[in-house]
Amino acid sequence: MSPGDIEAIYREVVDPGLRPRAEHALRLCTGDQAETFINQCFDYEPDGQALYSIRNAINHGTVDVDDPETAIMIEARFPELWRLVFSMFAGVLRSNPSLARGG
């Protein structure tokens, strides 16, 4: 076994990175819609308009809030983000009904 093999196993088992963890959570919570949400989050074209790319740009302060095209693009992506958040929330409630009952 080479050091590269050990690193690959470590990445797969211990620290797979954000995207594999997010894909796993999306599949658990959103079922049949998971692939659509994965695409919307990570693979959406044109480049820079994937939900995760938008989130990163906002988080790192690289969004030009004075640019009307940027504002329109972000606003246009908001409905998909809203669907994603509510689908994830519903999936969490389905997997743990006691949360829905407040306990």
Q: Between 6 and 26, name the one with better pLDDT.
A: 26
What token pair was written down for 77? 């992506």
Task: List alpha helices for 14-102, DSSP H.
Answer: 18-30, 34-38, 51-59, 68-95, 97-100
pLDDT at 99 over 80: no
pTM of whole model > 0.75? yes
Give me the pLDDT at residue 13, please. Answer: 81
Give me the pLDDT at residue 17, please. Answer: 87
> What is the distance between the alpha carbons of residues 48 and 42, in angstroms, rounded to a whole number?
10
CB 41 within 8 A of CB 52: yes
Identify the residue whose tokens are 């959406």: 44
Per-residue confidence band for 90, with pLDDT thresholds at 50, 70 and 90: very high
Q: How many CA atoms lie within 13 A of 77 on its CB side?
A: 20
